[in-house]
Amino acid sequence: MSFIPANESRFFIWFFDRYTRWALKRRFKQLWIKQEYEPGPTDRTVYFLNHNLWWDGLIPLYLNRELFQQNARAIMEDKQMQQYTFFSKIGAFSINLENPRAAVTSLRYALKSMDREQASLFIYPEGTITPPSEKRPDFKPGLAWLYQQTKEVDFVPIAIYSQNLRSSKSELHISIGKKVNHDKLMSKSKLTGLLEEDIHQLLLQTRKTAGFEDEGFSHQF
């Protein structure tokens, strides 16, 4: 499949912002957010997230419009982009995970995207939806490559967790962690392991309180 670039449309972003808010409220009983990172007016940020829900494709739009208000884009598997072509209109671009050479094209495009003012990028480093697990996630190497190639860009983990402890209708908890600080000179494999652990620990912390005390979370709806 050929590379699909982002092709933002103000109308599509406006429309899907409203659709996303409606859809999340319809699907989830409550939405809770814990935020330890807030970008400044000149900050550029790469957000990396676990990938366990179909809804993950819409969550970045909600977070950016509601909290971050940056010039956001997202990486999306090319098979999904072919099926849901409108995602390019809200800032997504494709990556072919089965072809390493094609994947490099997408990563270079991502790197160039971070040159924009107030740029941000949402990436699901697992590459595909995986079943929820207490094990450490398994990331593709692209996130570590981006981390090594960027300068003055914050990398921030975001944990997404859905639970049914209080109701038959799921509640959604989103934990936005602190920016990470790893040595860019270490090997790509070691760096990937540290980034995996960043998400893993954030997810474990989220599961400890989500649906029980909700400590540190603010109620969105």
pTM: 0.95
Q: pLDDT per residue over 168-194, tens digit each?
A: 899 999 999 999 999 999 999 999 999
Q: Tell me what pLDDT residue 2 has.
A: 87
Residue 140: predicted pLDDT: 94
At 104-117, the pLDDT tens digits run 999 999 999 999 99
Q: Which residues are CB-contacts of 70 (< 8 A; sequence separation ≥ 6)?
A: 39, 43, 44, 45, 64, 118, 119, 120
Residue 1 has pLDDT above 70, yes or no: no
pLDDT in tens, 26-64: 999 999 999 999 999 999 999 999 999 888 888 999 999
Domains and CATH numbers, the chain: 10-219 (3.40.1130.10)
Long-range contacts: 191-194, Cβ < 8 Å, 24+? 191/144, 191/147, 191/148, 192/139, 192/141, 192/143, 192/144
Q: Which amino acid is at 147?
A: Y
- Which residues have CB under 8 Å from 187's CB, separation 6+? none
